[in-house]
Chain A
């Protein structure tokens, strides 16, 4: 694990002791600690951060995806913004995800993750394993494609021609 200012954070020590190599990197930006965690352990790490008596990151304030189009080997990243109401401290966790990879869900740790993970899936196509209800959130159910990917055209690939009782009729956008 590279040494940086972020290593002074109590969560970093605890995680490094418990999860070892899963903690890939700890950095500090503008006074906030940013941890990079291995994809497979994110569920366990999150549960640990929530339940540990000295940390108590009980609030998931945001979860979002990022698309670094040309980054190898992990094109995408899922970013978790945690808050501990006991410490009054924020923690940012990043998880690298390659196209097609699945990320363990954290809905069982923070129920607030439900809609956030749904949005992350619909916008970036990052699938969350064991998520209870994977459906599109902000676009129509039959909408194809993942709009916030960098290679998705701004105006989309289809447009609505007609809406009737039976449903929506689409056509390719010219």
Chain B
């Protein structure tokens, strides 16, 4: 095998990999199907973000799924109690790869104002979180910004990392 051939093949392989990665990531980031974990008041803002004034459909993420098996983005909206923690973990485990998590609001990110025996101090104690959206509760704009940040993150990933 000559050096030229080797280089050419490597270049082609690298090029193909990039092209496939670009295409798959574009598909992933523009059709995030969320499952909403509606645990507290943040859920209302999450719903509002799907409504006409904000219209989450513009970013391909309006199709809220009732089943974790059909979802690839989990939005943890609200206070996660200790009692709920195993359930959250279970729902997360039921989601098929690729899957991402947004922790929406102060409670999901850190326990918020509930520094108490009953509340999990951040959902990242039980599942990995990709994007934290601060606020109490965050406005729909903030959630949409979080989803845009997640889209950026997805674009920078290699698709094979999440299979």
Q: Which residues of A contact B (CB under 8 A)?
A: 138-140, 143, 145, 147, 152-157, 159-165, 167-168
Contacts and interface: CB of A to CB of B under 8 A. Distances in A.
Given A139-B82, A139-B83, A168-B85, A162 B117 contact: no
Contacts of B96: none
B115 A143 contact: no
A160 B125 contact: yes
Interface in B106-163: 115-118, 120-121, 125-126
B86 interface: yes
Interface residues of B, number: 15
* Chief secondary structure at chain A's binding surface: loop
B110 to A, nearest CB: 13
Contacts of A165: 93
B69 interface: no
Given A154-B117, A160-B125, A140 B83 contact: yes
Contacts of A156: 116-118
Contacts of B83: 138-140
A139 B118 contact: yes
Interface in B80-103: 82-83, 85-86, 88-89, 93
Given A143-B82, A168-B86, A159 B118 contact: no
30 contacts: A138-B83, A138-B118, A139-B82, A139-B83, A139-B118, A140-B86, A145-B117, A147-B118, A153-B117, A154-B115, A154-B117, A155-B115, A155-B116, A156-B116, A156-B117, A156-B118, A157-B117, A160-B82, A160-B85, A160-B120, A160-B125, A161-B125, A162-B126, A163-B86, A163-B89, A163-B125, A165-B93, A167-B86, A168-B82, A168-B85
A167 B82 CA distance: 12
Nearest to A138: B83
A159 B89 CA distance: 16
A143 B120 CA distance: 13
A163 B120 CA distance: 11
A160 B86 CA distance: 10
A163 B126 contact: yes
Nearest to A147: B117
Contacts of A168: 82, 85-86
B108 to A, nearest CB: 14
Contacts of A162: 125-126
Contacts of B85: 160, 163, 168
Nearest to A157: B117
B89 A164 contact: yes
